[in-house]
Amino acid sequence: MKIKTFTFIPDNHYAYPEVVHDSVHISSIYELIDLYINADCTALTMGDWEAGEEDAFMRFSYNSYYENLYIITYTENVSDEEIRNLIENVHNENMEEIMYTYEDLPSATWSYEDEKNPWINGFISSNFLKKLAEDDDIISAVSFGKINEIASNKKFGESGKDQALTAVLDELVVKEFRSGNKMKAGKDYAHLNSSIEGIDILLSKILSPEEMKNMISLGKGHDILGRFK
Protein backbone atom coordinates (compact mmCIF):
# COMPACT_ATOMS: atom_id res chain seq x y z
CA MET A 1 0.00 0.00 0.00
CA LYS A 2 1.20 3.52 -0.85
CA ILE A 3 0.32 6.88 0.68
CA LYS A 4 0.10 10.27 -1.04
CA THR A 5 -0.64 13.67 0.48
CA PHE A 6 -1.75 16.86 -1.24
CA THR A 7 -3.48 20.18 -0.58
CA PHE A 8 -5.30 22.85 -2.57
CA ILE A 9 -4.58 26.55 -3.12
CA PRO A 10 -6.15 29.22 -5.40
CA ASP A 11 -4.50 29.26 -8.83
CA ASN A 12 -2.96 32.47 -10.19
CA HIS A 13 -5.55 33.03 -12.93
CA TYR A 14 -9.18 32.76 -11.80
CA ALA A 15 -8.20 31.78 -8.24
CA TYR A 16 -9.92 28.41 -8.65
CA PRO A 17 -8.59 25.52 -6.52
CA GLU A 18 -5.50 23.78 -7.85
CA VAL A 19 -3.75 20.71 -6.46
CA VAL A 20 -0.40 21.02 -4.68
CA HIS A 21 1.00 17.49 -4.93
CA ASP A 22 3.01 15.89 -2.10
CA SER A 23 2.26 18.79 0.23
CA VAL A 24 1.60 18.48 3.96
CA HIS A 25 1.32 22.24 4.49
CA ILE A 26 -2.26 23.34 5.14
CA SER A 27 -2.44 26.97 4.02
CA SER A 28 -3.92 29.41 6.53
CA ILE A 29 -6.80 31.65 5.52
CA TYR A 30 -4.34 34.56 5.30
CA GLU A 31 -2.07 32.68 2.88
CA LEU A 32 -5.10 31.82 0.76
CA ILE A 33 -6.22 35.46 0.68
CA ASP A 34 -2.73 36.55 -0.42
CA LEU A 35 -2.86 34.09 -3.31
CA TYR A 36 -6.34 35.33 -4.22
CA ILE A 37 -5.21 38.95 -4.20
CA ASN A 38 -2.38 38.15 -6.63
CA ALA A 39 -4.48 36.15 -9.11
CA ASP A 40 -5.09 37.74 -12.52
CA CYS A 41 -8.87 37.54 -12.92
CA THR A 42 -10.86 37.97 -9.71
CA ALA A 43 -13.57 40.24 -8.32
CA LEU A 44 -10.76 42.47 -7.06
CA THR A 45 -8.78 42.75 -10.28
CA MET A 46 -11.62 42.57 -12.83
CA GLY A 47 -14.46 44.28 -10.97
CA ASP A 48 -15.20 47.27 -8.84
CA TRP A 49 -15.18 45.58 -5.44
CA GLU A 50 -14.62 47.91 -2.51
CA ALA A 51 -15.79 45.87 0.47
CA GLY A 52 -12.31 44.51 1.29
CA GLU A 53 -9.96 41.76 0.18
CA GLU A 54 -10.98 39.19 2.80
CA ASP A 55 -14.67 39.74 2.11
CA ALA A 56 -14.08 39.36 -1.64
CA PHE A 57 -12.19 36.09 -1.12
CA MET A 58 -14.82 34.61 1.19
CA ARG A 59 -17.67 35.71 -1.06
CA PHE A 60 -16.25 34.77 -4.46
CA SER A 61 -13.41 32.29 -4.04
CA TYR A 62 -13.44 30.36 -0.75
CA ASN A 63 -13.83 26.65 -1.34
CA SER A 64 -14.23 23.69 1.00
CA TYR A 65 -11.10 22.15 -0.54
CA TYR A 66 -9.04 24.71 1.32
CA GLU A 67 -7.60 24.41 4.85
CA ASN A 68 -7.43 20.62 4.52
CA LEU A 69 -4.73 18.01 4.08
CA TYR A 70 -5.79 15.19 1.74
CA ILE A 71 -4.32 11.72 2.17
CA ILE A 72 -4.99 8.82 -0.17
CA THR A 73 -3.86 5.23 0.22
CA TYR A 74 -3.62 3.14 -2.91
CA THR A 75 -2.35 -0.15 -4.31
CA GLU A 76 1.31 -0.81 -5.10
CA ASN A 77 0.76 -1.28 -8.84
CA VAL A 78 -0.07 2.43 -9.45
CA SER A 79 2.76 4.74 -10.51
CA ASP A 80 3.30 8.26 -9.14
CA GLU A 81 2.34 9.76 -12.50
CA GLU A 82 -0.85 7.71 -12.69
CA ILE A 83 -1.95 8.75 -9.21
CA ARG A 84 -1.23 12.42 -9.96
CA ASN A 85 -3.29 12.19 -13.14
CA LEU A 86 -6.13 10.47 -11.30
CA ILE A 87 -6.27 13.21 -8.64
CA GLU A 88 -6.21 15.95 -11.28
CA ASN A 89 -8.90 14.26 -13.40
CA VAL A 90 -11.23 13.63 -10.47
CA HIS A 91 -10.72 17.20 -9.23
CA ASN A 92 -11.50 18.66 -12.68
CA GLU A 93 -14.55 16.41 -13.09
CA ASN A 94 -15.81 17.37 -9.66
CA MET A 95 -15.37 21.11 -10.32
CA GLU A 96 -17.07 20.88 -13.72
CA GLU A 97 -20.02 19.02 -12.20
CA ILE A 98 -20.45 21.61 -9.45
CA MET A 99 -20.04 24.56 -11.84
CA TYR A 100 -22.58 23.07 -14.26
CA THR A 101 -25.09 22.23 -11.55
CA TYR A 102 -24.87 25.59 -9.80
CA GLU A 103 -24.29 27.78 -12.88
CA ASP A 104 -20.87 29.23 -12.12
CA LEU A 105 -21.37 29.34 -8.37
CA PRO A 106 -18.38 31.60 -7.57
CA SER A 107 -20.03 34.41 -9.53
CA ALA A 108 -23.38 33.94 -7.82
CA THR A 109 -22.38 32.75 -4.38
CA TRP A 110 -24.09 35.67 -2.62
CA SER A 111 -27.46 34.09 -3.52
CA TYR A 112 -26.78 31.05 -1.32
CA GLU A 113 -26.71 30.87 2.47
CA ASP A 114 -23.47 29.27 3.71
CA GLU A 115 -25.16 26.07 4.89
CA LYS A 116 -26.71 25.58 1.41
CA ASN A 117 -23.66 26.72 -0.54
CA PRO A 118 -21.67 23.69 -1.80
CA TRP A 119 -18.70 26.00 -2.39
CA ILE A 120 -18.51 26.50 1.39
CA ASN A 121 -20.50 23.81 3.23
CA GLY A 122 -18.16 20.88 2.50
CA PHE A 123 -20.09 19.25 -0.36
CA ILE A 124 -17.30 19.79 -2.90
CA SER A 125 -14.70 18.14 -0.67
CA SER A 126 -17.00 15.23 0.24
CA ASN A 127 -17.93 14.63 -3.39
CA PHE A 128 -14.25 14.68 -4.37
CA LEU A 129 -13.37 12.02 -1.76
CA LYS A 130 -16.23 9.78 -2.87
CA LYS A 131 -15.24 10.06 -6.52
CA LEU A 132 -11.61 9.20 -5.70
CA ALA A 133 -12.69 6.13 -3.71
CA GLU A 134 -14.62 4.80 -6.71
CA ASP A 135 -11.33 4.01 -8.47
CA ASP A 136 -10.37 0.34 -8.04
CA ASP A 137 -6.78 1.16 -7.05
CA ILE A 138 -7.73 3.62 -4.30
CA ILE A 139 -8.08 2.04 -0.86
CA SER A 140 -9.20 5.17 0.99
CA ALA A 141 -9.32 8.95 0.67
CA VAL A 142 -9.13 11.13 3.79
CA SER A 143 -9.49 14.86 4.36
CA PHE A 144 -8.23 16.28 7.60
CA GLY A 145 -8.12 19.83 8.99
CA LYS A 146 -11.12 22.08 8.38
CA ILE A 147 -13.14 19.05 7.22
CA ASN A 148 -12.43 15.57 8.62
CA GLU A 149 -13.87 12.78 6.50
CA ILE A 150 -12.98 9.42 5.00
CA ALA A 151 -14.24 7.61 1.92
CA SER A 152 -13.19 4.01 1.33
CA ASN A 153 -13.42 1.76 -1.71
CA LYS A 154 -16.10 -0.90 -1.27
CA LYS A 155 -13.81 -3.47 -2.90
CA PHE A 156 -11.50 -3.43 0.14
CA GLY A 157 -14.30 -3.41 2.75
CA GLU A 158 -13.80 -2.48 6.40
CA SER A 159 -10.46 -4.30 6.61
CA GLY A 160 -9.12 -2.11 3.82
CA LYS A 161 -10.42 1.00 5.55
CA ASP A 162 -8.73 0.01 8.82
CA GLN A 163 -5.49 -0.85 7.04
CA ALA A 164 -5.50 2.53 5.28
CA LEU A 165 -6.31 4.47 8.44
CA THR A 166 -3.57 2.65 10.35
CA ALA A 167 -1.07 3.71 7.68
CA VAL A 168 -2.30 7.31 7.86
CA LEU A 169 -2.11 7.35 11.67
CA ASP A 170 1.37 5.86 11.60
CA GLU A 171 2.54 8.53 9.13
CA LEU A 172 0.77 11.57 10.63
CA VAL A 173 0.53 10.89 14.35
CA VAL A 174 2.88 8.12 15.53
CA LYS A 175 6.00 9.32 13.69
CA GLU A 176 5.49 12.88 14.97
CA PHE A 177 4.85 11.64 18.51
CA ARG A 178 7.92 9.41 18.63
CA SER A 179 10.17 12.03 17.05
CA GLY A 180 9.34 14.42 19.92
CA ASN A 181 6.87 16.67 18.11
CA LYS A 182 4.14 15.74 20.56
CA MET A 183 2.06 18.92 20.32
CA LYS A 184 1.57 18.44 16.56
CA ALA A 185 0.85 14.74 17.07
CA GLY A 186 -1.76 15.63 19.71
CA LYS A 187 -3.35 18.22 17.41
CA ASP A 188 -3.53 15.79 14.47
CA TYR A 189 -4.90 13.04 16.72
CA ALA A 190 -7.60 15.37 18.11
CA HIS A 191 -8.69 16.40 14.59
CA LEU A 192 -8.96 12.82 13.35
CA ASN A 193 -10.52 11.44 16.53
CA SER A 194 -13.27 14.08 16.49
CA SER A 195 -14.85 12.76 13.31
CA ILE A 196 -13.55 9.29 12.40
CA GLU A 197 -14.68 6.36 14.51
CA GLY A 198 -12.26 3.70 15.65
CA ILE A 199 -9.10 5.85 15.75
CA ASP A 200 -8.31 4.91 19.36
CA ILE A 201 -8.66 1.19 18.65
CA LEU A 202 -6.26 1.41 15.71
CA LEU A 203 -3.78 3.60 17.59
CA SER A 204 -3.74 1.25 20.56
CA LYS A 205 -2.40 -1.46 18.23
CA ILE A 206 0.58 0.77 17.33
CA LEU A 207 1.32 2.60 20.59
CA SER A 208 2.22 1.13 23.96
CA PRO A 209 -0.37 1.61 26.77
CA GLU A 210 1.75 4.43 28.23
CA GLU A 211 2.13 6.14 24.84
CA MET A 212 -1.61 5.80 24.24
CA LYS A 213 -2.40 7.37 27.60
CA ASN A 214 -0.08 10.27 26.77
CA MET A 215 -1.65 10.69 23.32
CA ILE A 216 -5.18 10.87 24.73
CA SER A 217 -4.00 13.48 27.23
CA LEU A 218 -2.40 15.53 24.45
CA GLY A 219 -5.58 15.31 22.39
CA LYS A 220 -7.72 16.52 25.27
CA GLY A 221 -5.30 19.38 25.86
CA HIS A 222 -5.61 20.46 22.25
CA ASP A 223 -9.43 20.33 22.43
CA ILE A 224 -9.41 22.59 25.53
CA LEU A 225 -7.05 25.08 23.86
CA GLY A 226 -9.19 25.04 20.75
CA ARG A 227 -12.14 26.48 22.66
CA PHE A 228 -10.26 29.72 23.16
CA LYS A 229 -9.22 30.19 19.51
pLDDT at 229 over 50: no
Mean pLDDT of 210-229: 73
Helix (H, G, I), strand (E, B) or coil at 73: strand
Query: Are 215 and 207 within 8 A, CB to CB?
Result: yes
Reported as a single tens digit per residue, the pLDDT across 123-159 is 999 999 999 999 999 998 988 888 888 898 888 877 7
Measured CA to CA, the distance from residue 175 to residue 177 in angstroms comes to 5
Residue 73, beta-bridge partner list: 3, 140
pLDDT above 90 for 106: no
